[in-house]
């Protein structure tokens, strides 16, 4: 059997090494207040529902439908999501699949 993802709008930011980049995702009242750790190589470690995952610079940080945060590689993100309206890729955007 084949399945299609339900269309929904998510929030995402592309990690650039600046901790302030993630703040817009954390400010929403529905955001899951997980732990974020920054290492000396500007990788961020995110407490996800599946455990801690690293997010290197250039990967995307996505807020899921329950407010959870998780990283996605740039190539996978671009193959899975497209900008809603004329939102530029690389800024905080709402994305529709």
Ranges of beta strands (E only) in 1-97 are 9-14, 36-38, 44-48, 51-55, 60-63, 69-72, 82-83, 93-96
Quick: pLDDT tens for 53-65.
Answer: 989 899 999 988 7
Structure tokens, 16: 């650039």
Domain range list for the chain? 28-72
* CA gap 7, 76 in Å, rounded: 17
Quick: pLDDT tens for 44-89.
Answer: 888 888 888 989 899 999 988 778 888 999 999 999 888 887 555 5
Q: CA dihedral in degrees (72, 78, 80, 82; nearest 10)?
A: 120
* CA gap 56, 45 in Å, rounded: 9
């Amino acid at each position: 059997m084949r399945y299609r993802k339900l269309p929904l709008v998510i929030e995402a930011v592309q990690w650039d090494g600046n901790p302030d980049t993630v703040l817009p995702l954390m400010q929403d009242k529905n955001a899951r207040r997980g732990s974020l750790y920054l290492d000396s190589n500007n990788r961020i470690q995110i407490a996800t529902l599946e455990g801690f995952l690293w997010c290197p610079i250039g990967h995307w940080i996505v807020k899921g439908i329950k407010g959870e945060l998780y990283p996605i590689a740039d190539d996978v993100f671009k193959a899975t999501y497209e900008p809603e309206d004329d939102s530029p890729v690389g800024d905080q955007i709402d994305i529709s699949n």
